[in-house]
Structures are given as structure tokens and as C-alpha cells.
Structure 1
Amino acid sequence: MNIDQLIAFLPFIAIAGTSIAVMLAIVIRRHFALASIVAVIGIVVSLIAVTITWGRFPVQVTPLMRADTYGLFFMSLLLTAGLVVIAFCYDYFKDCDGENEELLLLILIALLGGSVLTASTHFASFFIGLEILSVSLFVLIGYSFDRTKSLEAAIKYLVLSGVSSAFLLMGMALIYAQCGALDFNGIGQFIANQQTLDAMVLCGIVFIVVGLGFKLSLAPFHMWTPDVYEGAPAPVTAFVATVSKGAVFTLLLRYFISSGGFFYPSLITVFSFIAVITILAGNLLALLQQNVKRLLAYSSIAHMGYLLIAFIAGGSIAPALVTESVTFYLIAYIITTLGAFGVVSILATSKAEAAELSFYRGLFWQEPWLAAAFTVMLLSLAGIPLTAGFIGKFYMFTAGIEGGLWGLLFTLIIGSALGFYSYLRIIVVMTMNMESPVNADDKLPYKWISYAALGALTVLVFWLGIYPGDLMELIQS
């Protein structure tokens, strides 16, 4: 490894070193605040390492990983989201019974797995990064082991994640058997030299799409999502909905752009079918929910379908435009979803989650700041103007129009209308009169770290909705 490769690898070394530092801190003294501080400092150091690496030319660190601006940008996004999740975790778990320091270690290991995915250019690093991420999530989802729903969610995720990994491995094996290569560029060269897409390669790609469909909770592979989101602790749900899905979608986009896989009509048809049923299923099932966490789970399913529209457009427009559209939408989705689950996390107590819709009745009169922030996040998810979600959907429309995907755009419009009604239900409930007057003892304890993180997210939602140009220039660069 030469000096350029070592410098390019610094962000990964930093996040791995942070995991070891937190482990040592736990051994020396069990203190949740101390472990949280070490984890935050380590992530900040990792972000500084990203900025050091940023100005350098793309470097193939090993045959498995490539350090370029694409991967580093998404890695910094995931690490920043990890910081926000740790802020919510601190206020959520600091008063819980038991020793919770290992929670931070698991988050750091999951961030390491997600970071590996953003830089992967080979099936080996693809699978290793995905499993590092998934294994950490098994434990994070079931971390509140004294709650039956949390353990049930962890077991469901464990079983279905194992099934998805089996599909991925089978798809990789089929592609390798025909192409004789495991790196994305090698697969792309093989496909480029074929007049028609080989049947075995096509089957392999379909298996990989099925495996990643589970991870991204695309329909019809989405049934685990509402149960896992409901059962997991609220900050962990935010982590699964943002960092996990963001890392997997980043890898999916890199894989298909590198291999040229989605330029074939047969695959475009498959992705279009998945996008339509994902958007419709997510929004229609959200209408039936009386549980806010389950409603947000179906919302995240629908948003993955929206993302697929720009992805599918890559078959007929420039990949650069696809990457720009997907990147902006993914950033808007992560910020908004973190904020929505942040409100759920702040409202939760050590005894129960703030999950049922009835819990939010009269929230505007009890906690006006939290209700206002939640309203902003819901309006952004709905794509209302002056929010980041609106600009994200605008770029989705742009990509869809450029690609001539009129059927998918019609589905997006229908799905957005259904989604708006789902979010409006929560807003209306928050403005209703409370069933009983609020006592002083019922007031929520002030969780200043979570409030600060939620405030920053709210400002970002408005900033990107009003002045998106600065971020788009960074994405284009």
C-alpha cells in the first residue's frame, strides 16, 4: 500500500479505531456519557479524515475498494447521520435500566459497514460491508430486550436478512460463473462485449435485486419493515431507516452504473414494476395505520419507490443526472426521516414508546415546539413547497421527464397525494383538544441534546427547500 492509498483509507481507519476506542473505554469504566463522548469525537475525526482525502484524485485503495468523491460524499452523509442518531440515543437510553454502552459500539460498527459499502467496487467488499452492517443491526433492533416486540423485531430481521444474503450470494455466484470476474468494472466489460444480456448474468442480477430489495424494503419484499420499525427503539429505527438504506442504495447505484446493468430493457421493466408496487403499497398501507412508527415505516417504503424512478431513468439519460437526483433526494429523505423519528424518540419514555397515534392528540398545546418540528418533517415527506422534500421530488420529476417515464410519474403523483393524506392525519390529531388537562408532572423532561439535533434538522429542511443551489453545486462537483 503506497502513501496515496493509505491517506485514502484514513476515514475507514478512523471509524474502525473509534470502535476500538469505545470498546477500551467500556473496559476501563462503564459510563454511558463517556462512551458517547468518545464515539462522537471519533466520528468527528473520521469526518476530518474525509476532508483530508477529498481533494485527492480517485484512488483504488485495494482491488475491493475505491476512494472517490462519490463514496466519500455518501460516507460523510452516513457519519453525520450517525452523529444525530447518537444524540437521540443519549437522551433515550441515559435513564434506561441496564448497561447501554455497547449500543454505541454497535452503531460505530454499523457505520463502518455502511462506509465500506459506499466505497465497494467488488462483490467481496459488497458482501462483507453488508454483513457488518446487518449483524450490528440484529442486536441494535433487539437492544430493548425487556420488550417482547423488540425481540420479535430482531428475530424477524435476523431471519429475513439471512434469506436476503442467500439470494445475494447466489446472484454473485451466477454472475461469476459466467463473467469470470467479481469486480464491478470487470462485470461491466463482460456485459459491454455481449450483444444481448446473457441469461445466467440476468438471473444473477435478478437474485441480487431480490436480496437488496429486502434490505431496502422494496415491495414485495417489504413485509418485515413495519414490524421491525415498531419493535426497535425509536433512535435505532431512525438508524435503520436512514443509514442502513442510504448505504445500500449508494452501493446499488454504483454497481449498476459501473456494470452497465440497468441499460437493458428487461431489467428496466423489472425495476419499473417494483417501483410502482412499492409506491402504491407503501402509501395505501400507510392509510390504515394507527401506529405512527408503522405509518412512517410504510412511508419509507414509498420513498424508496420514489428513488427508483430516477434510478430507472438511468437507462435513457446521462448517469450524472441520475446521480445528482438520487443524491439530493437521499439527503432530503435522511434529514427528514431523522427528524421525524427524532420527535418520536424525544416523546418516548423509559416505560413505553410514543407509537400510537392517540398519544399525539393535543401535542400542539402540550409541546408546541415538538409538534411544529414534527409538522415540518411530515410536510417535507409529503413534498410540500419550501421544504427539502419538495426539491427532492422536483429532481425526481426532472429525471423522470428526461427519461420519458410518464407511467412512473403518474404513479408518483398518485402516491404523493395518498402520502399527504397519511401525514395530514397526524397533523390534525396533534391540533385536537386534549382529552384531559396537562399536569406539571406530565411535562416531558428537557432533552437538550436531542432538541439541539432536532433544531438543526428543522433548519436544514427549510434551508434546502429555499436555497438548494449550494448543495446541488457540491453534488455536481
Structure 2
Amino acid sequence: MSEYMSGGALLRALAPELLLTSGALAMLVGTVWSPQSQRAGAAEGAERTSTMSRFAVVLCLLVGLVVVIAWGDGATGTADQRLAGDGFRWAIDLVILLGTGMSLMLIDAEQHRSGAFSPEVPVLVLFAAVGMMILAAARDLMFVFLGVELMSLAVYVLAGVNRRSGRGAEAAVKYFLLGAVSTGFLLYGIALLYGATGSTRLVDIGQWVSAHPPLSPLFIVGAALLLVGLAFKVAAAPFHLWTPDVYDGAPLPITAFMSATVKTAAFAVFARVMVEALGRASAQWHTGLWWLAVATMVVGNVFALSQRNLVRMLAYSSIAHAGYLLVTLVVGGAAATTALVFYMV
């Protein structure tokens, strides 16, 4: 068997993501092909956005059907282990598609009420969902970085999509700047892990850890930087400072999308990295992750009590829930991933 899968096998492994991407690109072309004129009324713009949102919901349902078929097919393994074909991936994909569809419905309802969204918003939501599904499938740190960037760039724009809101612009800038810093940690950690192990595949990193019990300082620093980048994405304390401001400034449907769907994808890749790549090095990170979970639960719940704004209170509640989910990573193993999927649903 060759080390790398053929092009056809790779396309089959990425069939749901490719279908969702194709649909999003078709919608994007549609928005460019028939741009809204300045003379068009607000009702026409709202109707176009609603049409795009409904088409996106139908597309999510279609991609969900493809995911169910792939899950039931059973022949989902890949030759070079860059992409997962297990039940964990498909279950997370379904949660992502469900959250995306519900967020699109909220966008449709909010558009009729306030007219704050443009027709490009559903397209950005779909592109973010594509990045999340790549994260759910990633068993290679290069795919992890690709998924994080595709998801994050779309969500940065979505956070400030309401151009009439000053708080939305502030939320987008804060999210972008802090997100860029976290991406730097993530990328530098990937580079150091590659320098230490000679591979970016999670399985190879796990095997290297087993073969080198006294881990090198290069590997330990790389793993620490990688965990910092992932902790930012899941809003774990003390990397949570962006969360209340961004959730409060973004439109409510986008806040719902970030708090549930984005967090699902972030925890999916966090769990896969911890179990497949760093599971055999648990002696080095177990205590640190334990304290991270405790701090996140305490900070989220304590600071939520003093909030006078409902959305900020829910933001701190989301941080507390991140702490609960970190407990599953502390436990580790198959039971942890099962509990994580159950809690996400």
C-alpha cells in the first residue's frame, strides 16, 4: 500500500466538505452575479438574504445526508492517515451541520426583523462550516492549520458583519488581533513538533512519543505552544478574555453560531490531538490540563454572576461549559471522546 492515498481516495474522503464548498462557491457567484443596486429597497435585500439562507439550510441537509451515507458505508479509512474516517468525525460533522442550519434559520429571522445582514453572510457561515468539518476530519497538523484558518477568517468577518454597529466593529477587531496571536502560537507549535518528530501526522507523532520516553525540550515546547493555540479557540481560561466582548458585539445569530458550532469543531480537533498525538505523553500535560479545566470552570461561573448584560452572562456560561468539556480531555481515551460528542449534542 502506498504511503499517500490516490487522488480519487482523497476526494472520496473529503466528499462532504467538497460538496459544501461547491455549494458555498455557487452561492457566492450568485451574490456577485446579481449585485444589489443602490436603488433597491431594503425589502429586496432582505429577500435575497433570506433566499440565500434557505438555500444554505437545504445544502446543509444534503451534506448531512452524504455524511450519514459515508458513516454507514464503513469503508472510510484512508491510506496515509491524514484524514479520519471514524464515527467521531461523522458525529461531529452532523453536530456542525445541525448548528450551522439552526444558525442560518436565526439569520433569516433576524434579517426580516432588522435587515442587518447582506446576502454574503450565509456564504461566510458555510465557509466557516467547511473549516470546522476539516478540523473534525484532520489527523495531520497541516489539515488542522488549514481548518483553523478557513474557519477563523470567516468568523472574523461574521463578528463585525453589522456595519451599523460600533460594538460589532470592536468585536471583529479584538477577535482578529487575538486570533492572529493564537494562530502564531499554533503555527509555531506545529513547526517545533515537526522539527522534533519529523512528521505532522498525529499517528506518527504518537509513535515518536512511544519510541522516545525522555521527550526532548523541543517537543515539549512545541506541544505547549500547540495547546495554547487550541485553548484560545475553545475559550479556556486564561485565554478567554476575547469571548465576552466578541459575543456581546456580534449579532445574536452569529453569537449562537460561535458559542455552539465553532466550539464543537475546536473541541473535536483538541480531543483528537490529545488522544492520538499526545496521549502517550500524558505525564507531561495531564496536571496542566487539569488545572486549566478547573480554572476555566471557576472563572466562567464566578464572573457570570456579576454580569448585568444577558449576552455577556451567556458568554461566561460558555466558558464554564468549556471547562466541563476539558474534563473529558483530562480523562482521555475512547470514553472521553464519546462523552464529548454526547455533551456537544
- Residue 9 of structure 1 corresponds to 14
Match of 1:18 among 17, 23, 35: 23
Match of 1:78 among 77, 96, 116: 96
Q: CA distance change for structure 1 residues 199 and 254 in 2, over 3 Å: closer, same or farther?
A: same
Q: Deviations over 1:192-244 (max 9, x none)?
A: 11122322211111111111111111001111110001000000001111111
1:86 Cα deviation (Å)?
Answer: 0.4
Q: Percent identity, please.
A: 31
Q: Deviations over 1:5-42 (max 9, x none)?
A: 44332211111011012113323445122212221221
Q: Does 2:253 correspond to 1:235?
A: yes
- Residue 173 of structure 2 corresponds to 155
- Residue 244 of structure 1 corresponds to 262
Measure, in 1, the Cα distance between the counterparts of 2:240 and 2:32: 39
Aligned 8 A contact 1:5 1:61 in 2: no
Aligned 8 A contact 1:144 1:150 in 2: yes
Aligned 8 A contact 2:70 2:76 in 1: no
1:99 Cα deviation (Å)?
Answer: 5.9
Q: Does 2:65 correspond to 1:43?
A: no
Pairs within 5 Å for 1:25-174:
25-29=30-34, 31-54=48-71, 55-60=73-78, 64-97=82-115, 100-174=118-192
Q: Deviations over 1:403-431 (max 9, x none)?
A: xxxxxxxxxxxxxxxxxxxxxxxxxxxxx
Q: Does 2:265 correspond to 1:255?
A: no
Measure, in 2, the Cα distance between the counterparts of 1:174 and 1:153: 31
Pairs within 5 Å for 1:65-464:
65-97=83-115, 100-261=118-279, 263-314=281-332, 319-331=333-345
Q: CA distance change for structure 1 residues 102 and 240 in 2, over 3 Å: closer, same or farther?
A: same
Root-mean-square deviation (CA, aligned residues, Å) is 1.7
Measure, in 2, the Cα distance between the counterparts of 1:85 and 1:142: 16
SS of residue paired to 2:105: helix
Measure, in 2, the Cα distance between the counterparts of 1:176 and 1:6: 26
1:304 Cα deviation (Å)?
Answer: 0.6
Aligned 8 A contact 1:58 1:69 in 2: no
Measure, in 1, the Cα distance between the counterparts of 2:28 and 2:143: 24
Q: Deviations over 1:263-303 (max 9, x none)?
A: 42230111011111111111110010000000000011011
Measure, in 1, the Cα distance between the counterparts of 2:50 and 2:182: 36
Q: Deviations over 1:141-174 (max 9, x none)?
A: 0011111111000000000000000001111111
Q: Report the AA paired with residue 121 of structure 1.
A: R
The normalised TM-score by structure 2 is 0.90
1:2 Cα deviation (Å)?
Answer: 6.2
Q: CA distance change for structure 1 residues 261 and 99 in 2, over 3 Å: closer, same or farther?
A: closer
SS of residue paired to 1:94: helix
Measure, in 2, the Cα distance between the counterparts of 1:52 and 1:224: 38
Aligned 8 A contact 2:117 2:162 in 1: no
Q: Report the AA paired with residue 27 of structure 2.
A: V
Q: Report the AA paired with residue 39 of structure 1.
A: A
Higher relative contact order (CA 8 A, sep 6+): 2
Q: CA distance change for structure 1 residues 143 and 62 in 2, over 3 Å: closer, same or farther?
A: farther
Measure, in 2, the Cα distance between the counterparts of 1:14 and 1:271: 37
Aligned residues: 327
1:3 Cα deviation (Å)?
Answer: 5.3
Which region of structure 1 is more displaced relative to structure 2, 91-100 or 297-306?
A: 91-100
SS of residue paired to 1:84: helix
SS of residue paired to 2:84: strand
Measure, in 1, the Cα distance between the counterparts of 2:198 and 2:295: 34
- Residue 3 of structure 2 corresponds to none
SS of residue paired to 1:218: coil
Q: CA distance change for structure 1 residues 155 and 176 in 2, over 3 Å: closer, same or farther?
A: same
Aligned 8 A contact 2:107 2:253 in 1: yes
Q: Which runs of 5+ in 1 are unaligned?
A: 332-477
Measure, in 2, the Cα distance between the counterparts of 1:61 and 1:150: 45
Which region of structure 1 is more displaced relative to structure 2, 27-36 or 144-153?
A: 27-36
Q: Report the AA paired with residue 294 of structure 1.
A: R
Which region of structure 1 is more displaced relative to structure 2, 112-121 or 24-33?
A: 24-33
Q: Report the AA paired with residue 22 of structure 2.
A: G
